[in-house]
Structure 1
Amino acid sequence: MELSVLLLFALLTGLLILLARGRPKARGHLPPGPRPLPFLGNLLQMDRKGLLKSFLRFQQKYGDVFTVYLGPRPVVIICGTEAIREALVDQAEVFSGRGKIAVVDPVFQEHGVIFANGERWKALRRFSLATMRDFGMGKRSVEERIQEEAQCLVEELRKSQESVHKEIDQVIGSDRPPALDDRAQMPYTDAVIHEIQRFADLIPIGVPHTVIKDTHFRGYILPKGTEVYPILSSALHDSRYFEKPDDFNPAHFLDASGAVKKNDAFMPFSIGKRICLGEGIARTELFLFFTTILQNFSVASPMAPEDIDLTPQETGVGNVPPNYQIQFLPRQRG
């Protein structure tokens, strides 16, 4: 019995010593943040419903740049439009490393354009861009292929009475297939697409970056190898750039004359050297599919628009749109 008591006392003493030591030495170079526990870091302080809510809560207390420990590993969290752009654009090369993702690292082992680093990543990115251009990215040929697919979707919708995702209706008065050139005549439609992307918030936390060399950032020293999480959602809902960030409002992307305006906080594909390679083709697909559907159908919902909840559902580090019931009512052609 006495031995058990001594062992318990020794264990408690060791734990108290660890707690007294507090944060690891590297912490002195990094931004402030919630105090970590030994081994567990800040995991017990994380919201069970997802990392994003926890990070946004910490942002309120510690500001746009802070450090959390995911277990024993320190991660610098960057929130807000200015801080994210300062890191990924102004210091793009320094923040161009790719952090490890435990669930995918054993599979990819730093191969592939998303997860590679260094010269391997640069070579893969050049090869990927060249290949996508060969397949027609940025050319009229790929636009024509997307239009064909959009028309196939329209035909399937005409055959089916099934419900699908998303709720938006914008009348486009033309019988011809839409083209990218139409964007100049359809600023409101383009603004609606931007707002759908912003509000859907499908990738709220950018894929982890790493610092490839020691650097100063906002008054702190980031040692080489430090992992960095850009919280894209904090930019897409930044009240400094969107008048009503929690409301669905296409006017966020329209100027006083009704033309589409650029917004520095709009970064659904991330920004900087690690920006999504498929951004261009994704924007083309969104515009052509959206406008093709709305040329051919009116969209109706069984519930009143004000009763529809547009809040994305958080699933770990990603979001998915809620399920909606929708009717596609064929338009009458004159």
Structure 2
Amino acid sequence: MVLNNVLLSFASVLWTDTVSLILLLVVLCLLILNKLRNRNPRNYPPGPTPLPFVGNIFNLDAKQPHIHLAKMSDHYGNIYSLRLGSLNTVVVNTYNMVKEALVDQANIFTGRPTNDVLKRIIKCQGVTFNNGYSWKQQRRFALSTLKYFGVGKRSLESSIMEEYKFLHQAIMDTNGVPIDAHFLINNAVSNIICSMVFGRRFEYTDQRFLNMLSLMSKALKLQGSVWIQLYAAFPRVMDLLPGPHKDLFSCFQQVCAFIKEEVDKHCADWDPSSPRDFIDCYLTEIQKRKDDLEAGFHEEGLHYALLDLFVAGTETTSTTLLWGFVYMMKYPEIQEKVQAEIDNVVGRSRRPNVDDRPSMPYTDAVIHEVQRMGNVVPLSVPRMTNEDTILGGYFIPKGTQIIPNLTSVLFDETKWKSPHSFDPENFLNTQREFEKPEAFIPFSAGKRSCPGESLAHMELFLFFTSLLQSFSLSPPVGTQTSLDFKFGMTLSPKPFRTSFTPR
């Protein structure tokens, strides 16, 4: 009996040791395979040593990765490498290096990386995250259609100023009580793109639309979370776990449901001979391109194209305006100079218009400085190399994810008079004329630069000058204005309240 117990104990220990040995061998094999698969080629940019499987995800400061990535260049140089999950990534810093990549080698750096997050949200369709032939066809169609409905033309000015009337009245209705103007501004800016895309504007009291704007803002903030990086690295595992990644997918699903409802309404009364908006034009294009499946013109493609336009046409401009409020409250002496120039050039009897801009160099400089310091898209949208190339003397293989660190460009100490402080002089020459430095690329550069740049310029000028013509902006009594931010897909000020005092 004792012998049997001894033999059983020995067998149990032997089995346990065997299982442990097998598990150890499996782990070692996985580590070796991971090392071999992610082995860097010769002359690849240097960078911090990645951890197995997760790479350098935990090397980054999740609250301010754009600043951390810029500081890392002090140690590794202006071009260095990271591994984010399974994606080999190269971070490009300073204006000269970013220009060399996005402009001088524009054709090589036009790709977009794909991961399981993007595949689930947008299926790599639409314009922003599309690639190859489909991207070229979708972008060309979007640009030409938006131009048809006014983008880049003076005719759009009247639509913006018509929307300003509604915004002005909504602010007046607050009776000077300090408010969080986030969704009010979001709604006003969004209505400009909505008028072209959906053929109508939405009231500031439309709860369905306000909920959709809230979901979109929440989703863009969540995209900067380390949870999303982990999902991209381990999608099957993360699908089993709760966390912010589930909230992200839920937000986008609800926004897409809103878009689908609008498309369904258009389909019900669509007249191909009389297009009312972008949706109608796209529906016509679906019919024209039904034999060109590779171009991606179908109803699902329409939904994702609309999502692209809706997000791009709302979030960046409205966030920039919110930064404008922050900086005008933080620096009231600059606000007063802007208002003095508006009064001198425009007066009070009419609203500002685009023709006034050349006569308002200081105001123009302030708006551009808000864009620079606001740094709304601090890491741009990642690119991917379409072929092997050399950048800054380093070898970059085809299929490498590229992060153009726009933070390092907009604060490049070799390109700006006052790189780290809010100073309109950055955009004024010795003759006090407006002058835009070459490093001003908040909309990125090259063939993937933001297609709505001209629309954003017009909206920012007209909304900003009209608001400061009408109101003086100040923080609530007894409070100080903070420059704190929240990092996500966009960089936004933390929630704040503003008093709009009629002038």
Task: Please give the TM-score of this superposition, normalised by the length of structure 2.
Answer: 0.61
Structure 1 residue 320 and structure 2 residue 492: aligned? yes
Q: 1:126 aligns with which of 124, 140, 161?
A: 140
Structure-1 separation of matches of 2:424 and 2:78: 26
Q: 1:64 is matched by which residue type in structure 2?
A: N
Could you tell me which residue of structure 2 aligns to residue 209 of structure 1? Answer: 383
CA distance in 2, matches of 1:88, 1:221: 16
Which of 149, 156, 165 is matched with 1:151 structurally? Answer: 165
**Paired residues of 1:200 and 1:312 also in contact (CA < 8 A):** no
Alpha-carbon distance between aligned partners in 1 of 2:46 and 2:60, rounded to the nearest angstrom: 16
Deviations 1:272-318 (CA, angstroms, capped at 9, x unpaired): 1000110100110000000111111122223689x532242223x43
Partner of 1:96, secondary structure, is coil
Q: 1:151, 1:274 → 2: CA distance?
A: 34
- Cα deviation, 1:73-122, whole Å, max 9, x if unaligned, reads 21111111111111000111110111125322223222111111111111
Asked if residue 269 in structure 1 is aligned to residue 443 in structure 2, the reply is yes
8 Å contact from structure 2 (residues 151, 455) kept in 1 = yes
Q: What corresponds to 1:114 in structure 2?
A: 128
Distance 1:23 1:225, change over 3 A: closer
* Partner secondary structure for residue 147 of structure 2: helix
In the alignment, which residue of structure 2 is the partner of 1:66? 80
Q: CA deviation at 1:15?
A: 7.9
Residue in structure 1 matched with residue 206 of structure 2 by the alignment:
none
Aligned partner letter, 2:359:
Q
Mapped to 1, the partners of 2:477 and 2:75 lie a distance apart of 39
Which structure shows the higher helix fraction?
2
Aligned-partner SS, 1:203: coil
What is the alpha-carbon distance in structure 2 between the residues aligned to residue 120 and residue 158 of structure 1? 46
Residues 102/232 of structure 1: CA separation in 2 closer, same or farther (3 Å cut): farther
Q: Which residue among 310, 315, 331 is the counterpart of 2:483? A: 310
1:179 aligned residue: 353
Given the superposition, is the C-alpha separation of residues 6 and 54 from structure 1 closer, same or farther in structure 2, using an over 3 Å criterion?
Answer: farther
Paired residues of 2:417 and 2:425 also in contact (CA < 8 A): no
Conserved in 2, the CA contact under 8 Å of 1:269 and 1:275? yes
Alpha carbons of structure 1 residues 2 and 48: separation in structure 2 relative to 1, 3 Å: farther
Contact 1:98 1:116 in 2 (8 A): yes
1:55 and 2:69 correspond = yes
What is the aligned residue count? Answer: 329
Residue 22 of structure 1 deviates from its aligned partner by 8.3
Q: Does the CA contact (< 8 Å) of 1:19 and 1:37 recur in 2? A: no
Separation in 2, partners of 1:102, 1:279:
29
8 Å contact 1:18–1:38 — kept in the other structure? no
Q: Label 1:301 to 1:18 Cα distance change in 2 as closer, same or farther (>3 A).
A: same
User: Per-residue deviation at 1:244?
Assistant: 2.8
1:330 aligns with 2:344: no
Query: Contact 2:178/2:476 (CA < 8 Å) preserved in 1?
Result: no
Separation in 1, partners of 2:40, 2:32: 16
Flag the 1:259–1:213 CA change in 2: closer, same or farther, 3 A: same
- Counterpart in 1 of 2:211? none
Q: Offset at 1:19?
A: 11
- Which of 97, 113, 117 does residue 83 from structure 1 map onto? 97
Question: Which TM-score applies when normalising by structure 1?
Answer: 0.90
Report the alpha carbon displacement of residue 140 of structure 1 after superposing the two structures with TM.
Answer: 1.8
Q: Distance in 2 between matches of 1:206 and 1:44?
A: 21
- The residue type equivalent to 2:426 in the other structure is H
Q: Give distance in 1, aligned partners of 2:34 and 2:149.
A: 60
